[in-house]
Amino acid sequence: MHTYSAVLFDLDGTISDSAPGITRSVAHAFERLGMPVPERKQLRVFIGPPLSKTFPEFGVPKERVTEAITFYRELYTTEAKYENELYPGMKDLLKKLKEDGLKLYVATSKPEILAKDILKHFGIDHYFDEIAGATMDYARETKEAVLRYLLDKIGTEDKAVMIGDTVYDVEGANALQIPCIAVTWGFGNREEMIQAGAVSIVDTMDELYQAI
């Protein structure tokens, strides 16, 4: 018996390890801007929050942020999006939850069109009742905005829970009064997620299944 009937999954760092493609695309953007390229390890902070928030934190002038995102996308949308791997056990978890009768959704701040491509590439898109992401024109960009859009679309009759790997997932869920279970295999910080109000922290797929 599950506590929740609707499960809203983040994508990057929760369903799959997207670090290789994202960090390579960010490095490409800095090269195209003619700016020094930070170490690849530092670029992992680009995974999760909107690019428009993170590029300025690395010294990209406000007036060049749109340009930086365009350079990022010229590599990411064509090839780097597939430099990505499902976390071990994720496919089995989705299958099991679906067999249990739960409704599954994706809520990601990655552009929706790319999220759908990636989930299809992994052969898991059919597990989800709806896949919601950001828009390419930045009209819907933050996790809160994506969650609001998704909930408006599906309604709130079901008891929903967010599953994510960063403080942005927890805060986005909090804004809509949805509990968030935080996973530790992604890119976030355990303490930050606890402090932000995650209802539980899980380290394995089995623990996640039990928490749901």
Report yes or no: 12 and 22 within 8 Å, Cβ to Cβ.
yes
> Does residue 10 carry a catalytic annotation?
yes
Query: Of 10, 12, 17, 169, which one is the catalytic site residue?
Result: 10
**Which residues are catalytically annotated?**
10
